[in-house]
Structure 1
Amino acid sequence: MVGQYCSQLPIMVISEILGVPEQDRGRVLEYGELAAPSLDIGVPYRQYRRIQQGITGFNSWLTAHLEQLRRNPGDDLMSQLIRVAESGDAGTYLDESELRAVAGLVLVAGFETTVNLLGNGIRMLLDAPEQLETLRQRPELWPNAVEEILRLDSPVQLTARVARTDV
């Protein structure tokens, strides 16, 4: 269910943010699925290799995509960031590596967390049909339900960081 259903919404939203053309969305979904475990701690070497394949594929695709957006900008976030990056304004300058980092972060962090939130939420509601029925009868309660799902079964349990300097 998660792969077939829950991944569709986040990839649509991420594609809109990144300005991904319709014909490229399947590839971006594949890169997201491959790269998402990069946020996990202690991945086995075999999985690390798959993560690297996803990141490498995404980076290759992103090079061509950013060039396309430079030639034909849209209303998406990436086109706006490119405009800022190339504006020459020292206060808002973004270099190429920062543009690429934003795109990668949107893909990996936005994809994995949303897929898992949807999967967790669907499972919780199927396990509590009376709660699902309440939400059907009172749709104004959905924002509270989402918050409660996040509280009870968060899609992100921890975020690992390494300090570059002693704190």
Structure 2
Amino acid sequence: YDQKYSKSSIRKLTHQKLNEFELIIGCTGKPSLSEDQIKALRKDTCLVSVSSSDREFRGVFLRKNVDEILNCHQDVFSKGVYLLNCGFPINFDDAYAEIDIEEFQLTRAILLAGLLQACELGDQTGLIPLHSFLQTRIYGNYSEKFLKNEKVIATCAT
């Protein structure tokens, strides 16, 4: 979400504001929503964790209300909300060898650069392009390692 309060903590959102969201992606590594906040979510809200465990959305609290869970990667519906991958991070599955492929370095580098740039920008909100010099450097390093034999033309937003 990108509203005037997008840089503030989700914990401060009122029940009325929480009811505006259909999709909440958690990446704090700790509980993002209280049980009361979960109960206040709009019907059919989808909760997606991209942190390192199932604590982002109090998975235990939501799973205990599901009659039958066949496996730990099942999407469940509880308390009127969808909890993808049983609350575990969406990228956790049984394909462990695929989690850390070398090409994922590009994604990691872009995410890290975006986070560092966000720290520099303070409270600025809106769609903010990644600095072009960062894009060029990251892509240059990536293409040097992975696209040696391919002719690629890269353009960057300024």
TM-score (structure 1 length as normaliser)? 0.22
User: Larger strand proportion, structure 1 or 2?
Assistant: 2
Higher relative contact order (CA closer than 8 Å, sequence separation 6+): 1
TM-score (structure 2 length as normaliser)? 0.23
